[in-house]
Amino acid sequence: MPHRSLRATVVLLLVILKKQPSSSAPLNGSKWTYVGPAGEKNWSKKYPSCGGLLQSPIDLHSDILQYDASLAPLQFQGYNVSVEKLLNLTNDGHSVRLNLNSDMYIQGLQPHHYRAEQLHLHWGNRNDPHGSEHTVSGKHFAAELHIVHYNSDLYPDFSTASDKSEGLAVLAVLIEIGSANPSYDKIFSHLQHVKYKGQQVLIPGFNIEELLPESPGEYYRYEGSLTTPPCYPTVLWTVFRNPVQISQEQLLALETALYFTHMDDPTPREMINNFRQVQKFDERLVYISFRQGEEGSEGRERQCATRCLFPTKETVSFGDWLSPLAAKEPEHIQEHWRMSYWSPPSVFSMFSRPWREVQTMTLKYMDQSAC
């Protein structure tokens, strides 16, 4: 299809979708919310599974982790969607949701194939940008992306699979603030078209795999639940170890663009803090595809730099709060300081955790072969 014709079709469909009436749906959001009388604390009254077993999200900490050598990298089939295939982006009253093509699926969750259904995000608010659902050793990330799949070998569709054994599989991507991410802009640039519940827009396809982090073969795996009502405990979770980065501006756009409510609601509510609290994780294990103690892709690079460089006593200046013994014992420096570095030999800009002042140290090689 010629580009001009495609562009005209997209514009026409955008106008049609935006003009769809929303007044027939109930006002003031959906039947469940994150706060208030229909909020998370009361979900179990209407949705019993929300107060049951195997609930998600959870905190991923060392006491519950067990290495499993059989966990192989996943294969993402059909994730590279042509720009000529239009995807439906919608505000569903709980998040921004992108409906995915039926020919997208993941392999590697033996013995079944899991077909993609949709993806959506969870986030906090502009004053407290810590809206991930899963946490790592108690740490919240800025946001979290979920790519939801259903077992297409056993069940005909997502609805049928959602409350069945081995029914669902969700990929979770932890998101932190950092560099701008053009791949996420392929969603975020359309948020203004789906500000209110029920609004939809068709957007050009793109490579969904670009939303995943580096080294996707490193992940956490456990059996859990949907993190929203009805909270069915039918989800095989894959939480990627390494986060992706988006810019502060991109995160702010996500935190401020959307509403839980319809356009004509007399009491509009901003779509913020749409994440469930961490759940109890009794008598379960989380299996990991990497060995504990090994750094992730970014951590290995940082560890290599700090291992191969050593501060010279002559160039170290210390604040009152840092012992001069650190000049002799580099592990103390690694413990008390946060570093940003360049290709050696170099000057490290080192910032104390209390952010009291900045110090500069000249470093030299200790053992280049260690890298």
pLDDT at 305: 37
| 149 noted as active-site residue | no
pLDDT tens-digit readout, 127-160 = 999 999 999 999 999 999 999 999 999 999 999 9
Pick the catalytic residue from 61, 94, 122, 140. 94
Instruction: Give the closest residue to 14 by CA, choosing from 84, 116, 88.
Output: 88
Can you give the pLDDT at residue 247?
98
Burial class, 213, CB count within 10 angstroms (exposed 0-12 / middle 13-18 / buried 19+):
buried
CATH topology of domain 54-67+80-291: Carbonic Anhydrase II (3.10.200)
Q: Which residue in the block uniquely carries the two structure tokens 């300081």?
A: 337
Q: Which residues of the chain have pLDDT under 50?
A: 3-6, 8-29, 298-371
The number of CA neighbours under 13 Å toward the Cβ of 217 is 9
Residue 365, helix vs strand vs coil? strand
Q: What is the pLDDT of residue 110?
A: 82
| Nearby residues of 82 by Cβ (< 8 Å), 6 or more positions away | 205
Domain residue ranges in the chain: 54-67+80-291
CB 337 within 8 A of CB 352: yes
- pLDDT given for residue 107 in this prediction: 93
For position 187, what pLDDT does the model report? 98
Write the pLDDT tens digit of every residue in 50-74: 999 999 999 999 999 999 999 999 9
pLDDT value of position 282? 78
Pairing of strands 168-177, 143-151: antiparallel
User: Residue 53 class from Cβ within 10 Å (0-12 exposed, 13-18 middle, 19+ buried)?
Assistant: middle
